[in-house]
């Protein structure tokens, strides 16, 4: 068989691999017996946002590692909703799938046959040349490739040296080129615990040289697998998002569209870390519906969609009302969503304090983050408790009147007072739960009977 050009062209590395006998586990930052330490090195790099940003989706790959597997029908419905949220301009550019089982491949075909331009369907495989047979079998032009990069994985999981592991990765990358793929994503697993200059940079150099000679487009997904990344200026490598992105771009001229961020929420930083990646020059941030993902989850898709609109000043074709429909469908299939979960929780824009309810009666903008009725198809609500007061009762009643196209009433209306007396009596008798919609409707019909004739 004829030797391909990239197999014979050798280029002297500018950043040779630093092979070591013992793993670098960064014990000053990760003592394990203590909370990880935040270390500053005093060096601050410039923030250079990508000129164009977007999301990718891993709901059906990483997202399925945190919940029971979706059925074919559920995948089909959710993919429709993601497509709707993405809009015609591909703000959610790609969606990745497993391809190992017949069920995996059936799901992939189901969504691919919809013919949507966005999200583009891609796959994910292990660093095994044999897995490319599966990629070829399903006819995918781009796949993700797991390339674990920290010494935690190289020494403690693979039980090999850096040289052995990186050479094996390059063999798989070569197999991708030979398989005729147009692009691959190298998933730098655990990059925020990796030896950046000793391993990450040398491996990236090999990849970029291979890309130049072979023509295979190579994207790099920076995987903050354990949520250790930090967004602060001056944080030391390997935890600094800004420095990881800055130096990869500086050393190799990698364009933003070939850099992607994949975060986890172990330290409650997945969203701010994702935004920091965008602002540091990464074009693409990986996400999942409602943030479902391994352990504490990934970047919530709905949060990134709102952030995108905020950062760019435009929805750019996204249908943000799809966020509400996604949440409703997830509940329909048995998914629990925390009531206070931003944008999708049942109480995220529901006020319970009477003083707040009094404010929203005057102008809902006082206590609502934005026009949730228009943007998310989620009108502002009031949850009635012993703290809601007559203002809360009045607000609830006026919501029903608005739905019926009737004039609103003042909170001092005698009928409002009578409903409030009933609510107050409930708690005088020892009630501790909130008043349900059904209970309130009974009272509403009792004191506004003319509306139901």
Structure tokens at 416: 């409002």
Q: Rounded to an integer, what is the distance from CA 319 to the centroid of its chain?
A: 17
The owner of tokens 């139901």 is: 452
Q: How far apart are CA 197 and CA 237, in angstroms?
A: 9
Q: Spell 234-247 as b/e; 16+ CB within 10 A means b.
A: ebbbbbbbbbbbbb
- φ/ψ of residue 207, rounded to 5: -65, -45
Strands (E), 252-397: 259-262, 284-287, 350-351, 381-382
CA distances (Å), 309 to each of 68, 317, 318, in order?
A: 32, 10, 9
Q: How far apart are CA 66 and CA 69, in angstroms?
A: 9
Strands 92-97 and 142-146, sheet pairing: unpaired
Are the beta carbons of 291 and 303 closer than 8 angstroms? yes
- φ/ψ of residue 273, rounded to 5: -65, -40
Structure tokens at 68: 């029971």
- φ/ψ of residue 381, rounded to 5: -130, 170
CATH of 5-332, one of 3.20.20.70, 2.60.40.10, 3.30.450.20, 3.80.30.20: 3.20.20.70
Q: How far apart are CA 279 and CA 187, in angstroms?
A: 20
The owner of tokens 């109480």 is: 347
Q: Rounded to an integer, what is the distance from CA 48 to the centroid of its chain?
A: 22
How large is the angle between the packed helices 270-280 and 241-252, nearest 10 degrees?
30
Q: Rounded to an integer, what is the distance from CA 328 to the centroid of its chain?
A: 18
Coil/strand/helix, residue 12: coil
Contacts of 351 (CB under 8 A, 6+ apart): 357, 360, 367, 380, 381, 382, 383, 392
Coil/strand/helix, residue 48: coil
DSSP symbol at 200: I
- φ/ψ of residue 94, rounded to 5: -140, 160
Structure tokens at 365: 């903008």
Vertex 164, ends 163 and 165: CA angle to 5°? 95
- Reported as half-sphere exposure (CB side, CA atoms, 13 A), residue 266 has a value of 14
| DSSP string computed for 121-184 | EEEEE-S-TTHHHHHHHHT-SEEEEE---SHHHHTTTS-S-HHHHHHHHHHHHHHHHHTT-SEE
The pLDDT tens digits along the chain (453 residues) read 445 544 444 567 899 999 999 999 999 999 999 999 999 999 999 889 999 999 999 999 999 888 899 999 999 999 999 999 999 999 999 999 999 999 999 999 999 999 999 999 999 998 888 888 888 889 998 999 999 999 999 999 999 999 999 999 999 999 999 888 999 999 999 999 999 999 999 999 999 999 999 999 999 999 999 999 999 999 999 999 999 999 999 999 999 999 999 999 999 999 999 999 999 999 999 999 999 999 999 999 999 999 999 999 999 999 999 999 999 999 999 999 998 999 999 888 877 655 555 566 567 787 788 999 899 999 887 778 887 888 889 888 988 898 899 999 988 899 999 999 999 999 899 988 888 888 989 999 999 999 987
Structure tokens at 167: 């050479």
Domain locations in the chain as residue ranges? 5-332, 350-452
């Amino acid at each position: 068989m004829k030797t391909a050009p990239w197999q014979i062209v050798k280029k002297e590395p500018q950043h040779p691999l630093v092979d070591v006998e013992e793993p670098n586990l960064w014990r000053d930052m990760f003592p394990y017996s203590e909370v990880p330490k935040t270390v500053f090195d005093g060096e601050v790099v410039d923030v250079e946002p990508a000129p164009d940003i977007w999301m990718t989706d891993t709901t059906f790959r990483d997202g399925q590692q945190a919940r029971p597997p979706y059925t074919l029908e559920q995948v089909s419905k959710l993919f429709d909703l993601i497509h709707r949220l993405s809009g015609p301009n591909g703000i959610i550019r790609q969606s990745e799938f497993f391809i190992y089982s017949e069920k995996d491949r059936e799901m992939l075909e189901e969504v691919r046959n919809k013919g949507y331009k966005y999200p583009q369907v891609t796959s994910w495989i292990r660093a095994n040349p044999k897995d490319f047979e599966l990629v070829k079998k399903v006819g995918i032009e781009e796949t993700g490739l797991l390339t674990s990069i920290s010494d935690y994985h190289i020494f403690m999981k693979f039980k090999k040296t850096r040289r052995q592991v990186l050479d094996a990765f390059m063999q798989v990358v070569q197999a991708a080129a030979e398989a005729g793929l147009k692009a691959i994503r190298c998933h730098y697993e655990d990059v925020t615990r990796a030896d950046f200059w000793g391993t990450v940079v040398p491996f990236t150099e090999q990849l970029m040289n291979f890309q130049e000679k072979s023509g295979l487009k190579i994207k790099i997904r920076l995987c903050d697998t354990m949520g250790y990344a930090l967004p602060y200026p001056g944080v030391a490598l390997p935890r600094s998002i800004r420095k990881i992105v800055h130096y990869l771009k500086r050393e190799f001229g990698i364009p933003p569209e070939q850099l992607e961020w994949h975060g986890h929420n172990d330290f409650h930083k997945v969203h701010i870390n994702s935004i920091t990646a965008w602002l540091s020059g990464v074009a693409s941030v990986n996400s999942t519906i409602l943030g479902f993902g391994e352990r504490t989850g990934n970047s919530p898709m709905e949060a990134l969609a709102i952030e995108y609109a905020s950062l760019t000043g435009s929805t750019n074709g996204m249908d943000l009302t799809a966020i509400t429909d996604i949440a409703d469908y997830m509940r329909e299939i048995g998914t629990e969503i925390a009531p206070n979960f931003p944008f999708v929780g049942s109480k995220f824009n529901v006020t319970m304090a009477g003083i707040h309810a009094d404010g929203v009666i005057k102008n809902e903008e006082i206590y609502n983050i934005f026009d949730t009725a228009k943007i998310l198809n989620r009108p502002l609500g009031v949850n009635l408790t012993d703290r809601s007061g007559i203002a809360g009762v009045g607000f609830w009643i006026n919501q029903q009147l608005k739905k019926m196209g009737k004039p609103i009433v003042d909170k001092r209306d005698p009928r409002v007072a009578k409903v409030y007396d009933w609510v107050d009596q409930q708690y005088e008798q020892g009630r501790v739960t909130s008043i349900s919609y059904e209970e309130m409707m009974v009272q509403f019909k009792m004191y506004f009977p003319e509306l139901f004739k």
